[in-house]
């Protein structure tokens, strides 16, 4: 009885699921094109609701103008000069220069595409769905009376920004170029750096209404085939109305959606993305945004910069250690201050303790509430500075912090030492932009734990955070590699950066075979030029 009921429920659920898929937004019956030109145009006009920006241009062509054709295109997405020069002129005028004894059947799309259309990007279409996809993507559709096929001709006119330096990843030494919203330009920037025939680009269209182009870029033979297949599966199961930015894709493909730590990295810099592709990772580009996703991601990547590899290893190693310390200060600074002043005063030197007590003499709030108010005020100023126009935002950030901080201290609402602690925390939080989100959340969590249990609460919070980090995976890759699991070869590029010639192999956790593990020949360590007395080297 129960089995019969379960079968009935399963039947109706599958039926409703298929029905919902059939009536999905933007779904069009996948019917073939008709040989009647007028019928095809009526169907297209009906589907597009007679949109005013769609042009239907009917014309006659051939030796005696006996063939009927029509062009369908969207005004804002196509180049009209290209249409006139490379489509209409050959069909309506240049064909008259052919000898009359030249036998050409202009009712066949293949004949027109191979002999008259001078644009390289053409696709033969037989289904209405395919025709609409190409039309809405900016292609010009050529229909001929008597043919059940159509020709999609690429005459795109895509406006985009020029290649500029990204504002989120400024460098002192290194390339200044950055991706822009045109995905073709972004792919060209990658191909300009990787001139390898094994570089593969795979295209997906995601979004029932936006039909956004999403591209996977990787090097065949270096990237793990299982990784690429997993990316394909995760992208294929995304069924949404719209994809407007790569952040949409990130939220649908990440491994730990409830974690505060990102498991998918992003970047605007081609050199940074290219370096990760060369290590065996895969890049995901989304049309309409300059931010490129890269998977898998390691936690250590947040503290690395492309500039580390362009300069000598000594300064790069010091700056990397500075970034680690900055992240610790930004997350634990206020919490440690509260724990010391409230629970562990004996750990503070006497002179410093007297100074802190003197500064807090007039403050009416407990230390934890004082810290919360200051951190919350700083977050408000930072958000206001980002959302306002650039000139006004910078003024608000600087003047607001100075005026509020000075006025609060003079009014006795905040102690001077708290201003120093929160200011140091705020400055340190900008040293690791990739972990700004997690750092902000952890700052509040550790502050609450310190206010409740002092140093014990901070230690428990650290243990819970480390356990959570050790449990994370990014497309099957351990998030804390090479620390968990421990890998001595990977430690060469973790807390410090060894010289490039000392790192001949790629990350073993990402590379899937021994053949693709070598990035350079061994024994490339430079040696001084020596010349013996007899003239020999």
Q: Which residue has the tokens 């997350």?
A: 331
Q: Summarize pLDDT for 346-369 with one digit per residue, the tens.
A: 898 888 888 888 888 888 888 899
Work out the end-to-end distance of the chain between its first and last CA atoms, rounded to an integer number of angstroms.
Answer: 93
C-alpha–C-alpha distance, residues 90 and 94, integer Å: 5
Q: Tell me which of 203-212, 294-303, 498-507 is least confident.
A: 498-507
Reply yes or no on whether the pLDDT at 230 is more than 50: yes
pLDDT, position 235: 96
User: Average pLDDT of the chain?
Assistant: 85
| pLDDT tens-digit series, residues 54-96 | 999 999 887 777 888 999 999 888 888 888 888 888 888 766 6
Report the chain's C-alpha Rg in angstroms: 31
Token pair recorded at residue 179: 């991706």
How far lies 497's CA from each of 237, 320, 372, 502, in Å?
39, 8, 37, 10
What is the value of pTM for the model shown? 0.85
260 three-class SS: coil
DSSP assigned state of 33: P
More confident residue, 1 or 46: 46
Residues 306-349: pLDDT tens digits? 888 998 899 999 999 999 999 999 999 999 999 999 999 989 88
- Judge whether 419 and 308 are in contact, CB under 8 Å: no
Q: What does the pLDDT average to over 158-169?
A: 81
Sign of CA dihedral 460, 462, 465, 467: negative
Structure confidence by residue, pLDDT tens digits, 179-229: 999 999 999 999 999 999 999 999 999 998 888 999 999 999 889 999 999
Q: Can you state the angle between helices 313-342 and 436-471, rounded to 10 degrees? A: 90
């Amino acid at each position: 009885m129960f089995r019969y009921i379960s079968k009935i429920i399963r039947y109706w659920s599958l039926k409703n699921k298929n029905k919902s898929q059939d009536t999905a937004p933007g779904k069009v019956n996948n019917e073939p094109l008709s040989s009647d030109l007028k019928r095809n145009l009526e169907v297209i006009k009906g589907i597009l609701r007679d949109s005013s920006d769609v042009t239907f241009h009917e014309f006659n062509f051939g030796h005696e103008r006996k063939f009927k054709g029509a062009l369908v295109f969207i005004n804002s997405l196509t180049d009209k000069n290209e249409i006139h020069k490379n489509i209409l002129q050959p069909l309506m005028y240049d064909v008259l220069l052919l000898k009359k004894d030249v036998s050409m059947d202009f009712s066949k799309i293949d004949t027109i595409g191979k002999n008259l259309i001078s644009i390289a990007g053409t696709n033969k279409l037989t289904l209405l769905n395919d025709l609409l996809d190409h039309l809405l993507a900016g292609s010009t559709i050529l229909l001929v009376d008597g043919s059940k096929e159509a020709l999609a001709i690429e005459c795109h006119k895509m406006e985009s920004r020029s290649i500029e330096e990204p504002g989120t990843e400024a460098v002192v030494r290194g390339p200044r170029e950055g991706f822009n919203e045109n995905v073709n330009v972004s792919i060209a920037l990658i191909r300009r750096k990787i001139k390898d025939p094994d570089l593969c680009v795979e295209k997906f269209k995601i979004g029932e209404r936006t039909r956004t182009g999403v591209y996977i870029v990787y090097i065949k033979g270096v990237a793990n085939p299982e990784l690429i297949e997993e990316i394909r599966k995760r992208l294929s199961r995304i069924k949404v109305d719209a994809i407007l930015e790569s952040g949409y894709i990130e939220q649908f493909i990440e491994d730990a959606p409830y974690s505060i730590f990102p498991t998918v990295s992003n970047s605007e810099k081609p050199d940074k993305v290219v370096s990760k592709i060369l290590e065996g990772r895969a890049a995901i580009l989304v049309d309409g945004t300059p931010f490129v996703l890269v998977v898998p991601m390691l936690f250590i990547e947040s503290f690395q910069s492309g500039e580390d590899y362009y300069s000598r290893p000594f300064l790069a190693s010091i700056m990397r250690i500075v970034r680690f310390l900055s992240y610790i200060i930004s997350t634990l600074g206020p919490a440690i201050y509260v724990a010391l002043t409230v629970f562990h005063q004996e750990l503070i030197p006497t002179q410093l303790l007297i100074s802190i007590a003197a500064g807090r003499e007039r403050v009416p709030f407990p230390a934890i509430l004082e810290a919360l108010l200051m951190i919350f005020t700083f977050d408000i100023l930072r958000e206001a500075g980002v959302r306002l126009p650039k000139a006004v935002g910078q003024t608000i950030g600087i003047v607001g912090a100075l005026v509020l901080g000075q006025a609060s201290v003079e009014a006795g609402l905040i102690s001077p030492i708290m201003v120093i602690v929160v200011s140091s925390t705020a400055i340190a939080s900008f040293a690791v932009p990739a972990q700004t989100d997690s750092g902000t959340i952890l700052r509040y969590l550790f502050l609450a734990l310190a206010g409740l249990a002092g140093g014990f609460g901070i230690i428990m919070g650290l243990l819970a955070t480390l356990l959570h980090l050790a449990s994370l995976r990014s497309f099957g890759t351990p998030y804390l590699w090479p620390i968990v699991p421990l890998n001595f070869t990977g430690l060469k590029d973790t807390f410090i950066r060894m010289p490039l010639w000392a790192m001949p192999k790629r990350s073993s956790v990402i590379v899937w075979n021994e053949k693709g593990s070598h990035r350079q020949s061994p024994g490339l360590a430079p040696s001084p030029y020596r010349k013996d007395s007899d003239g020999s080297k």
